[in-house]
């Protein structure tokens, strides 16, 4: 009985982590898409689409497709398949953001975006030709699906690497008064949020690919999802919708360290 209670608490924790991630992705995704409509700039469109489609829509949609067993199968299949496609599209948007913001003039970065899109399409085709979309969307099974989930990772790792690297440069610039402390902090928060999303993605993919386990359904998985989901959600929130008290604190901290 105690074990059941413990298990329930772990699942509740995971749900809180997962739901905060979904809520933050939805709110910030919409906000960035509205910003993109106003400015007409690609970076905000790309990152807004990524957050809105992946964290805000695809993640809960896929869970509903798999868990709402009482619903009609065509509806669940439609939801599940749409979620996979949205995940792919969101991942490509992250890659486009990385390329256009951090490496705009570099051919390898443009090629990396193409390569990420190509392997995602190839993985889905592999799934269609082997296990079928039904297996993937409703039962979380199939080699193509495993590969597809695995290849969602590189875009996130790339985003995290670029942001944390650039944060290091901004810290050095800040010492000379050449960097905005709020932008410096935002870069760090985005790097940490994408790192958390990458770690979760890798843990899920490796668990499924090599050990055949549904990571999110294990106690260890739930224990990881809770803190990482919360950290990613808080990081995104503080980066893109920071409360005035937080920005004041960041500015004050920077002023103290400069002095």
Q: Does 69 bind other proteins (CB under 8 A)?
A: no
> Least Å distance between CB 240 and other proteins?
6
End-to-end CA distance of the chain: 58
Compute how many residues bind other proteins; rule: CB under 8 A.
33
The answer to whether residue 161 forms part of the interface with other proteins (CB under 8 A) is no
Q: Is 227 in the site for other proteins (CB under 8 A)?
A: no
Please tell me whether residue 213 binds other proteins under the rule CB under 8 A.
no
239 binds other proteins (CB under 8 A): yes
Tell whether residue 178 is a contact of other proteins (CB under 8 A).
Answer: yes
Can you list the pairs that 11-18 forms with residues at least 24 positions away whose Cβ atoms lie under 8 Å? 11/222, 13/222, 13/223, 13/226, 14/216, 14/221, 14/222, 14/223, 14/225, 14/226, 14/229, 16/226, 16/229, 16/230, 17/225, 17/226, 17/227, 17/228, 17/229, 17/230, 17/233, 18/59, 18/225, 18/229
- Check if the beta carbon of residue 43 is closer than 8 Å to that of residue 100: yes
Residues in region 22-51 near other proteins by CB under 8 A = 32, 35, 39, 41, 43-44, 47
Give the CA distances from residue 225 to residues 45, 198, 220, 234, 253, in Å, rounded to whole numbers and listed in that order. Answer: 27, 12, 9, 14, 31
Task: Please tell me whether residue 190 binds other proteins under the rule CB under 8 A.
Answer: yes
Please select the residue that binds other proteins; options are 186, 192, 195, 230, rule is CB under 8 A. Answer: 186
Q: Which is nearer to other proteins, 39 or 111 (CB)?
A: 39
Minimum Å gap between C-beta 173 and other proteins is 4
- Options 15, 64, 157, 171; binder of other proteins; rule CB under 8 A: 171
Of 4, 177, 210, 259, which lies in the binding site for other proteins, with binding defined by CB under 8 A? Answer: 177
Among 69, 176, 244, 259, binds other proteins (CB under 8 A): 176
* 169 is a contact residue toward other proteins (CB under 8 A): yes
- 168 is a contact residue toward other proteins (CB under 8 A): yes
Q: Burial letters for 63-74: b for 16+ Cβ neighbours within 10 Å, e otherwise?
A: bebbeeeeeeee
Decide: 159 and 94 in contact? Cβ < 8 Å: yes
Binding segment for other proteins among 111-119, 142-150, 185-193, 198-206 (CB under 8 A)? 185-193
**243: region left, alpha or beta (phi > 0 left; psi from -120 to 50 alpha):** beta
232 binds other proteins per the rule CB under 8 A:
no
Strand ranges, E, within 50-112: none
170 touching other proteins, by CB under 8 A: yes
Under DSSP, is residue 159 helix (H, G, I), strand (E, B) or coil? helix
Give one word for 242, left, alpha or beta, with left for phi > 0 and alpha for psi -120 to 50: beta
Kindly state the smallest distance separating residue 129's Cβ from other proteins, in Å.
Answer: 40
**Interface ranges with other proteins (CB under 8 A):** 32, 35, 39, 41, 43-44, 47, 101-102, 104-105, 166, 168-173, 175-180, 182-183, 186-187, 190, 239-242
């Amino acid at each position: 009985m105690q074990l059941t209670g413990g298990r329930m608490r772990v699942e509740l924790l995971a749900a809180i982590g997962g739901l905060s991630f979904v809520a933050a992705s939805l709110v910030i995704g919409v906000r960035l898409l509205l910003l993109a409509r106003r400015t007409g700039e690609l970076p905000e469109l790309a990152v807004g689409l990524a957050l809105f489609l992946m964290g805000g829509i695809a993640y809960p949609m896929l869970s509903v497709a798999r868990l709402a067993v009482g619903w009609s199968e065509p509806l669940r299949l439609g939801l599940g398949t749409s979620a996979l496609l949205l995940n792919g599209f969101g991942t490509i948007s992250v890659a486009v953001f990385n390329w256009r913001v951090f490496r705009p003039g570099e051919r390898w970065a443009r090629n990396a975006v193409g390569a990420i899109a190509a392997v995602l399409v190839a993985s889905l085709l592999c799934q269609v030709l082997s296990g079928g979309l039904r297996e993937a969307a409703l039962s979380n099974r199939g080699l193509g699906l495993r590969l597809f989930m695995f290849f969602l990772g590189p875009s996130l790792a790339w985003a995290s690497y670029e942001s944390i690297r650039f944060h290091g440069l901004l810290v050095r610039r800040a010492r000379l008064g050449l960097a905005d402390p709020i932008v410096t902090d935002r870069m760090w928060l985005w790097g940490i949020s994408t790192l958390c999303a990458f770690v979760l993605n890798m843990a899920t993919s490796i668990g499924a690919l090599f050990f055949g386990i549904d990571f999110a359904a294990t106690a260890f998985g739930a224990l990881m999802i809770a803190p990482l989901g919360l950290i990613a959600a808080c990081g995104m929130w503080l980066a893109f919708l920071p409360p005035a008290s937080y920005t004041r604190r960041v500015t004050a901290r920077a002023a103290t360290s400069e002095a």
